[in-house]
């Protein structure tokens, strides 16, 4: 899916989440874009091909169970490929709602939520709090926001 189509598809949901939680819509979309490769690399079960609808590559069991898929794990800064269990959903909206629950119901992410209105600060805080193992996670999110959502909203520019 083209980045512009991806943004258009998820923006109404992301804006709704922003209204409820204060997490800026751009960082929500940037995370989903990074995690799924703009829906080109959505996690599917390695053995059955069943789609996960998991926009954020959240591990564990979801409302539709789980799928087994390859993942990149970082050990002492070095990437290695493993098979892991990822949450499965019935649709993308369910994935977005679970993402919101994960962040808002955990004390671990309270410092990120405190800066949720600033998408770049939120991205940095998520990385600092261990949301993802990729040592360049925040940098990648910020690059996506600056490249694909700059023209979508002057809000991002105003926040810097």
Q: Kindly state the tokens that stand for 112.
A: 């990120």
pLDDT digits (tens, 9 = 90+) for 104-121: 999 999 999 999 999 999
Rounded to the nearest integer, the mean pLDDT of the chain is 91
Query: What whole-number distance in Å separates Cα of residue 106 and Cα of residue 78?
Result: 28
Domains of the chain by range and CATH? 3-159 (1.10.530.10)
- Of 156, 157, 158, 134, the residue nearest 27 (C-alpha): 156
pLDDT digits (tens, 9 = 90+) for 42-92: 999 999 999 999 999 999 999 999 999 998 888 887 889 999 999 999 999
- Of 97, 95, 96, 123, the residue nearest 109 (C-alpha): 123
CB atoms within 10 A of CB 5: 11
Query: What whole-number distance in Å separates Cα of residue 24 and Cα of residue 146?
Result: 14
Q: What percent of the chain has pLDDT over 90?
A: 83
C-beta of residue 27 within 8 angstroms of C-beta of residue 123? yes
Q: Please report the pLDDT score of residue 152 as a whole number.
A: 46
Catalytically active residues are 73, 98
């Amino acid at each position: 899916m083209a980045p512009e189509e991806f943004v258009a598809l998820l923006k109404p949901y992301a804006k709704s989440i922003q209204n409820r939680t204060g997490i800026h819509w751009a960082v929500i979309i940037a995370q989903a874009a990074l995690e799924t490769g703009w829906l080109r690399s959505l996690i599917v079960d390695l053995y059955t091909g069943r789609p996960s609808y998991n926009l954020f590559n959240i591990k564990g069991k979801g409302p539709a169970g789980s799928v087994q898929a390859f993942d990149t794990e970082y050990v002492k800064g070095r990437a290695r490929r493993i098979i892991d269990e990822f949450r499965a959903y019935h649709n993308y909206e369910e994935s977005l709602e679970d993402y919101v629950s994960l962040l808002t119901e955990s004390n671990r992410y309270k410092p990120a939520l405190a800066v949720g209105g600033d998408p770049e600060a939120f991205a940095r805080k998520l990385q600092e709090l261990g949301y993802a193992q990729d040592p360049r996670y925040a940098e990648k999110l910020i690059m996506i926001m600056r490249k694909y959502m700059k023209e979508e909203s002057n809000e991002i520019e105003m926040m810097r």
